A and B are shown apart, each in its own frame.
Chain A
Amino acid sequence: MERSTRRLIPLLLLIPTLARAEIELDRLTSCEELGNIRSSLHTESLPQQCRNAASPLENLILEKTGELSKSLCILEETPSPMLNGFTCFVDFKHLGHSLFCVKPVQASEIYNYQENYKNQYSQKVIDYLIQISKCPVSNGSATQASLSNTPYLAATISKFQFGFISPLGTGIKTSDYVQQGYATIDKNLNINSDAIEYVNFLIDGKYPEKEKFITIGEWMLNIDHSEDADNILNQEFKRNSAPIKATGTSYTLKNVSTEQSDDSKLQTLDTLINSIANTLKDEGFKDKTKESMPPGGMKELIKRVKDSTPPGLADISKQKIGENVRFLINTTTQTCTKNNSGAIAFTIASIEPNPEVSSSFGSINLVAMSLGKCANSRPVQKYIDALIKQLDDSIKNELQSM
């Protein structure tokens, strides 16, 4: 690299910080460029010269992304002139192929937009969305983005404020989209920036599977044994050389037949949690909930979980973590537990019903953990799988009798 170029680098890095923040209503109408980026992401042919994080914003994103940051590449150059001034992160491993480009902006501009939306922006936004929809690469149904559309990398550091989203491809349901969004950053993060603008491409994205409910009397129950979350958790354990293997299950409840008060719904969840705990006790598990609580008890535990939730994800769910959390452990009945060399533990937690949805009765989430010597034991995993099936049945039986 030329010496003169090297000397320019610190200045170049400052550009995104100094860039004047304003609401740009033209990013998603660069139709040809959008089409080119989409094609490059599809074929993984995007030029990928990766560089290290250089700005506080880039470092913050990597720090908050944890395990997933290992598959992120910060592009040496932005893939298109429409993204000049942005830092772009590319990821070909998780959730399809994604390109997340971000730059600091001023929160005051975002608030100004929101306060003056009616007079200054509403018509421009309508025109913008109609223009975006006319791009050949769009499926023609661009719309306002919602909180739940927040890209993961944005959610780790910021709170969504508003944005625009254009599905790419043809037909109502496409697996690709591009999104432009604005989000505010907590001042306590101290990164000399209080907001971001982002442009995010998601290519070959997967739709979450629709929950399949089975009917038990007047209850509807979804049992989810999917391994996606387990895999991420287990990779994290592996990365930290922790001898733990986790197996998660969740039970989601609905009831469209009866109107029940919030208190009554919480009682139902408690009954089911107690039923699970009792089944485990019958299997030789000891309830160590009290002993495993931090000073400050359950409230402190829930606060810690909340504090560790990325700011952009905290507002998505209107449902709270239930206060009936249980921790049960078995240190005796399996061979791998001999001489305190291993154990099997279950945590039982719940998500309270959505207070604004009548049929919502919340969910119960179980995580079975094999620890120490038990973590790599096939018979133990078989035992846990069988035990979870038994718990599935005990939930069904409990609902049947309600």
Chain B
Amino acid sequence: MDDHLPMIKQPLTAISLASISLAVLAARDEFCLYSVHQGGDTINAPLCSNDIDPLRLSDNHDVRAAMSILGIDKNEISFKGCEHLSFKVKSLEDGKNTKFEIYYDTTAAKNIIAPILHEISHINQIKAEGSYQNLTKSYSSERIELGADYTAGYIFRKLPEKHELNEFEQNINLAGLYIKSEDTHGNPSRRDQAFRLGVFDTEAPSDARKINLYFQREIYGKIN
């Protein structure tokens, strides 16, 4: 749950990630941007158990449904959970195929689905653009983040099991900031708007790969 998110002084970048036993696959790109790293006085290094996916997200029915809604094969994504680990996606290249690894904070517990859907939405964006590089070349960090919030809203509407809109939205919202930074996610109000537009927009394309382009062309400019 978000209210148990830790205060971590330094970004959980290389130092923290080094403590995770990575898969054999070579990590190429990591991002997202839905992060818990922020100012503070303490560093809580990720606490990882031998269990790679302790919350069994690969078998979670909401997560499976989200992948199905976006047309992503379950074998394309693996999950890695540790205490206090930043939520993020890595794209991993294995010869011809690109696979993805989603890192998550196990302390987020029952409220983990919203940020995971946000991360899965990033994978949808990468697949639509062809690569992580293409995505970041085409759009600013804020556009990418709000696009993922919008797509998370789109998925939320289509999930078979219904969740509380308000709590779900707030679980995504944590990384919103009023101060612009290089990896800005947009301010909290803009993040909420993007998510709700995704939930209520009935004109979004049914082809999941076209959602990000639709968001960038038609929706982003309407958020204020």
Q: How far is the CA of A346 from the CA of B129 in the complex (A)?
A: 48
With A114-B178, A115-B179 in contact, do A142 and B218 touch (Cβ < 8 Å)? no
Q: Is the CB of A146 within 8 A of B193?
A: yes
A354 within 8 A of B: yes
Q: Tell me the chain A residues, 242-260 only, with Cβ under 8 Å from chain B.
A: none
Contact B217 A359 (CB under 8 A): yes
Q: Are B189 and A144 in contact (CB under 8 A)?
A: yes
Chain B nearest CB from A354 CB (Å) reads 5
* Complex interface: stretch among B10-18, B56-64, B119-127, B167-175: B167-175
Bound: A279/B97 CA distance, A: 61
B192: interface (CB < 8 Å): yes
Q: Are B196 and A356 in contact (CB under 8 A)?
A: no
Sorting the interface of chain A by its residue count into under 10, 10 to 19, 20 to 34 or 35 or more gives 20 to 34
Contact assessment for B196 and A143 in the assembled complex, using a CB-CB cutoff below 8 Å: yes
Q: How far is the CA of A162 from the CA of B176 in the complex (A)?
A: 13
B217 touches A119 (CB 8 A): no
Q: Please pick, from A117, A130, A142, A355, the residue contacting B188 in the complex, using a CB distance under 8 A.
A: A117
Interface string of B212-224 (1 = CB under 8 A from A): 0000011011111
Closest residue of chain B to A114, judged by CB? B178
Smallest CB separation, B198 vs chain A (Å): 14
Cβ of A357 under 8 Å from chain B: yes
Assuming the A-B contacts A130-B167, A359-B217, are A125 and B2 also in contact, with contact meaning beta carbons closer than 8 angstroms in the complex?
A: no
> What 1/0 mask marks residues of chain A from 183 to 207 whose CB sits below 8 Å from any chain B CB?
0000000000000000000000000
- Whether B218 pairs with A358 at a CB distance below 8 angstroms is yes
Near B by CB (< 8 A), chain A positions 339-360 give 354-360
Secondary structure of the B contact surface, majority rule:
helix
Q: Closest CB-CB distance, B217 to chain A, in whole Å?
A: 4
Say yes or no: is B39 at the interface (Cβ < 8 Å to chain A). Answer: yes
Q: Which of A114, A123, A357 makes the CB contact (< 8 A) with B218?
A: A357
Q: Check if A362 is an interface residue, CB within 8 A of chain B.
A: no
Residue in A closest to B223 when the chains form the complex, CB atoms: A146
Contact B3 A123 (CB under 8 A): yes
Question: Which of chain B's residues have a CB closer than 8 A to the CB of A140?
Answer: 164-166
Given A119-B38, A126-B2, residue A141 in contact with residue B178 (CB < 8 A):
no
Q: Is the CB of A141 within 8 A of B166?
A: yes
Cα separation A125 to B179 with both chains bound (whole Å): 16
The residues of B that contact A123 with a CB separation of less than 8 Å are: 2-3, 5, 174
- The verdict on A22 contacting chain B, using a C-beta distance below 8 Å, is no
- When chains A and B are docked, how far (Å) is the Cα of A355 from the Cα of B222? 10
Bound together, the chains give a CA A318 to CA B3 distance in angstroms of 36
The one of A114, A126, A162, A360 that contacts B170, using a Cβ cutoff of 8 Å: A126
Are A357 and B221 CB-contacts (below 8 A) given A130-B166, A144-B192?
A: yes
Report how far A168 CA is from B193 CA in the complex, Å.
Answer: 19
B residues sitting closer than 8 Å to A (CB atoms) are 2-3, 5, 7, 38-40, 164-167, 169-170, 173-174, 176-179, 187-190, 192-193, 196, 217-218, 220-224
Q: Name 26 A/B residue pairs within 8 A (Cβ), A-sorted.
A: A114-B178, A115-B178, A115-B179, A117-B176, A117-B179, A119-B38, A123-B174, A125-B188, A126-B3, A126-B173, A130-B170, A133-B166, A140-B165, A140-B166, A141-B166, A142-B166, A143-B166, A144-B188, A147-B189, A162-B187, A162-B189, A318-B224, A354-B221, A356-B220, A356-B221, A357-B217
